[in-house]
Structure 1
Amino acid sequence: MAVNPFFVVNPHSADGRTLRLWGELRELLARRFGEVRFELTRGTMHAAELAAAAIEAGADLVVAVGGDGTLNEVLNGCFRAARQPVPGAVLGYLPSGTGSDFARTMGLYGLPLALQVEKLASGTVRLLDCGQVHFTGAGPSGAPLETSRLFLNESSLGFSAETVNNVNRASKRFGGKMSFFLGVLRTLTRLRNPLLQVTVDGKQVYAGPTLLVAVANGKYFGGSMMIAPMAEVQDGLFDVVVVSAMTRLTVLKKIGKIYRGEHLAEPEVHVYRGAEVRINSVGEEVLLEMDGEQPGRLAADFRISRHTVPFLA
C-alpha cells in the first residue's frame, strides 16, 4: 500500500457532486491511509500542476478524484514532472465525473465509495498503454499553438468533439448519459460531415465525408457509448473507429447501437488498428476532444506507448 499518497480533487466535476461526496470519501480514505493529503482544483489544468508538484515532493501514489478530464490532467502532470514513470510512483483514480468512461473500461464505474477505497488500498498495479496526440491548441493569447498531450482513454474528433464542447458549456446536473445525449441533440442541429483523411501506421486507410473518428485505448466515450468494444488497454494498439457521413435521422436511428457496442457491422463504420495515426481535415476547422475535454483541433498525430503508465486498479 502507498505510504505517501496525494489526492487531486475536482470539486466541480459531475456538476459539484464530487465536492458533496468528498467529506464522506475523505473519512473512508483516512481509515485506510491515515493522513489524507489533498488539494482542490481551481481551474483548467490546475490538476496537472498539483500532480506535478506532488510527484516532485515524493508522492508514491497520485489519485485523481473526479471525471475523465481530471484523470487526464493528473496523468499529464505526473509525466510533465518526470518525463517518464517515477520508480515506485503510481496513478490512481476515484471516479466521480459526468461520463467516467475510463472507469467503465477498468471496472471501477458505479462501485460504492467504500469498495473504491478498498481497491485503491489493496488493488493491483497494471502497466497501461498511453496515447499521445500532437495537435493545434491555443496559446495564452488565443493564437494557434502546436502542442502535445497524453491520454489513457480516447481522443476523437468531428461530431463527438462538438458534442463534448456542447456538453461542457451546459449544466451536467442530469448525469453523464443524459447530459451527453442532450449534447448529441444540440450538435445535430448543426450537423456537419467534414472531409477527413485518416492514415494508420503510414498507410492512408480512409478519405471522405466523416461524422466522427475515435482513436481509442479504452472502450467507452460520450457518457457510456461503447465506441470501441474490442479495445484493450494493454495491447499496444489503438482501435481507430471511423464513422462516415450520416444524416440527422440516421444518427438518431443508430445511436443506440453505439451505446451497446453493436455498431461495428454498420456500413458507415470502419475499424482499423495501429500504433500511429494521422488525421487531417480538408478545407475546414474540425474540433478534437480528449477524455471528455475539448483542447484543440486538427491536424492531429497520435502515437501509443505500450505498458507505460503504472495504474492502480
Structure 2
Amino acid sequence: MRAVLVVNPKATTTSERSRDILVRALRSEVDLTVEYTRRRGHGVALGQAAVLQGVDLVVTLGGDGTVNEVVNGLMTAPESADGPTRPRPLPRLAVVPGGSTNVFARALGMPREWSESAGVILEALREGRSRTVGLGRADDRYFTFCAGFGLDAAVVRRVERARHRGRRSSPALYLTATMQQFLVGTERRDPAIALERPGEDAIEDLATVLIQNTAPWTFLGERAVNPNPEASFDRGLDLLALRRLRVPSTTRTVTQILSRHADPRGKQVLRLHDLDEFSLVARRPQAFQLDGDYLGERDKVRFTSVPAALRVIC
C-alpha cells in the first residue's frame, strides 16, 4: 500500500522525535513518503498530488487546518495536470492529531494523544477497518466539521491575530476573545443575515450562524461544545442561528450549549437539522470561518452537504 504522510512542521503538540517515531511505525505497514507543508495552502497541493500519483492512503499530522487543506486537495484533484476533475476512488484519509484542538480527529473517536491515535490507525490498517464520512461545502471550499458566519468567525479572527502576536492557543484565549468580540466588536442592534433555502421563504434578521457537519462543534479543553448535538457525518448540515445578541438571551443560550446535555432553545434561537443546501446572505460583510480557519469577510455564502465524500481510517 502506497501512502503519503503530510506533516505540518509547526504543529503545536508534536516534536521532531515524535514525527520520527510515527514515520517508523507507519513504514512497518505501508510504503511511505513524507511531505512537509511549507506555507498556508500547501496542504491542498499535496492532497491533489497524492490523488494524481494514485496513492492509496494519505495520513495527516497536524491540526484541523492541515486536515482541511488536505481534504480540499483530495476533493479537487484534477484527472491530470491539465484535465477535468475525475469521478474515481480517492485515497483513504487517516488523521493523527497534532494541533491544539483536533476537532475532526476527536469527532471520529480518535484519542487525543498522537501516539495512541497512531496505534489506532495501524490497527485499523491491519484489520481493514474504515468508515465513510460526509463533508460540507461552502461555495467552492470543503469543510470537515464546522463553519461560522458572524460572531464566532470574528472570534476566530481575534484568536488568530493574538496567536500571530505570540499568544498560545488555549480555552482561556478563546473565552477572552469571545467576550471582547461580543461586548465591543460586534454590531448587536442590527442583525444583517438572511437564510435562504430552495422552495422556502427567507428567514431574515439573523445576527450570527453556526453550521455543523458533525458533533461536537468544537472543544474547550475536555468539554465538548455542541450547539447542534444531532449533527452527524452521516447526515446533512445542521444550523444554529441567533436572531439577536442581547446579553440575557445570549448568555442563556451559551449556558445551554455548554451544558452536559446541550439542547439550546428560546425565542432568539433558530435550529435546523439535516439540510442539503442553503445560502446565507448579509446586508453588510460578515466574518467567515471554516474548520476554525478565518477566511475573511463575505456578504454571501452557499452551503451544500456532500454525503459519503471520503473514506477515513479510524
The answer on 1:181 being equivalent to 2:183 is no
Structure 2 partner of 1:257: 256
Query: How far apart are 1:79 and its partner, in Å?
Result: 1.7
Q: Offset at 1:95?
A: 1.8
Structure 1 residues without counterparts, runs of 5 or longer: 135-147
Distance across 1 between alignment mates of 2:34 and 2:162: 28
Choose which of 92, 107, 110 in structure 2 pairs with 1:108. 110
Structure 2 CA distance for aligned equivalents of residues 165 and 37 of structure 1: 34
Note if contact 1:10-1:19 (Cα within 8 Å) is conserved in structure 2. no
Matched, 1:133 2:142: no
- What does the per-residue CA deviation read over 1:191-224, in whole Å, with 9 as the maximum and x for residues that have no partner? 23331111234313521141x2122111133444
Match of 2:35 in 1: 39
Return the offset for 1:267.
3.1
159-168 vs 120-129, which deviates more? 120-129
User: 126, 141, 151: which is aligned to 1:149?
Assistant: 141
For residues 104-156 of structure 1, the C-alpha deviation after alignment (integer angstroms, 9 at most, x for no partner) is 3211142x33331132223322221121111xxxxxxxxxxxxx101121211
Q: Name the CA distance, whole Å, in 1 between partners of 2:26 and 2:227.
A: 33
2:58 is the alignment partner of 1:53:
no
CA distance in 2: counterparts of 1:192 and 1:219, whole angstroms: 29
Q: Deviations over 1:89-113 (max 9, x none)?
A: 2122112222222223211142x33
* Stretches of structure 2 lacking an aligned partner (at least 5 in a row): 79-84
**Equivalent residue number for residue 10 of structure 1:** 8
Contact 2:98 2:114 in 1 (8 A): no
Aligned AA (1:217): N
Cα distance 1:241–1:209, how it changes in 2: closer, same or farther (>3 A)? closer
CA–CA distance in 1 between the matches of 2:150 and 2:267?
Answer: 19
Which secondary structure state, in structure 2, belongs to the residue aligned with residue 169 of structure 1? helix
Which amino acid in 2 is paired with 1:6? V
Assess if the C-alpha contact under 8 Å between 1:200 and 1:275 holds in 2: no
Q: 1:300–1:68: structure 2 CA closer, same or farther, 3 Å change rule?
A: same
Q: For the aligned residues, what is the CA RMSD?
A: 2.4
1:229 partner SS:
coil
Encode CA deviations 1:254-310: one digit per residue, 9 max, x unaligned. Answer: 43432346242233221113101111012x110111001122423011111211211
Contact 2:74-2:90 within 8 A present in 1 as well: no
Query: Match of 1:102, as an amino acid?
Result: F
1:29 paired to 2:30: no
2:173 partner amino acid: S
Instruction: Return closer, same or farther for 1:293/1:192 CA change in 2, 3 Å cut-off.
Output: same
Partner SS, residue 17 of structure 1: coil
Query: Hey, what's the Cα distance between the residues in 2 that align with 1:98 and 1:89?
Result: 26
8 Å contact 1:153–1:217 — kept in the other structure?
A: yes
Query: How far apart are residue 22 of structure 1 and its match?
Result: 2.4
After TM superposition, the structure 1 = structure 2 runs for residues 298-309 of structure 1, keeping only pairs within 5 Å, are 298-309=299-310
Report the 3-state secondary structure (helix = DSSP H, G, I; strand = E; otherwise coil) of the residue aligned with 1:18: coil
Q: TM-score, normalised by structure 1?
A: 0.83
Separation (CA, whole Å) in 1 of partners of 2:15 and 2:59: 15
Question: What CA distance in whole angstroms lies between the structure 2 residues aligned with 1:17 and 1:53?
Answer: 26
| Candidates 79, 95, 118, aligned match of 1:93 | 95
Shift of 1:241: 1.1
SS at match of 2:175: helix
Name the CA distance, whole Å, in 2 between partners of 1:285 and 1:307: 32
- 1:96 to 1:249, Cα distance in 2 relative to 1, 3 A: farther
Contact 1:28 1:114 (C-alpha < 8 Å) held by counterparts: no
In the superposition, relative to structure 1, how do residues 176 and 57 fare at CA in structure 2: closer, same or farther (>3 Å)? farther
- Say if 1:255 and 1:280 are closer, same or farther in 2 by CA, change over 3 A: same
Equivalence for 1:192: 187
**Distance in structure 2 (CA, Å) of the matches to 1:301 and 1:39:** 33
Q: Which residue of 2 aligns with 1:268?
A: 268
Asked whether the 8 Å contact 1:18–1:96 carries over to 2, the reply is yes
Partner SS state of residue 93, structure 1: strand
Indicate the percent of aligned positions where both proteins have the same amino acid: 22
Name the count of aligned residue pairs: 291
* Residue in structure 2 matched with residue 242 of structure 1 by the alignment: 241
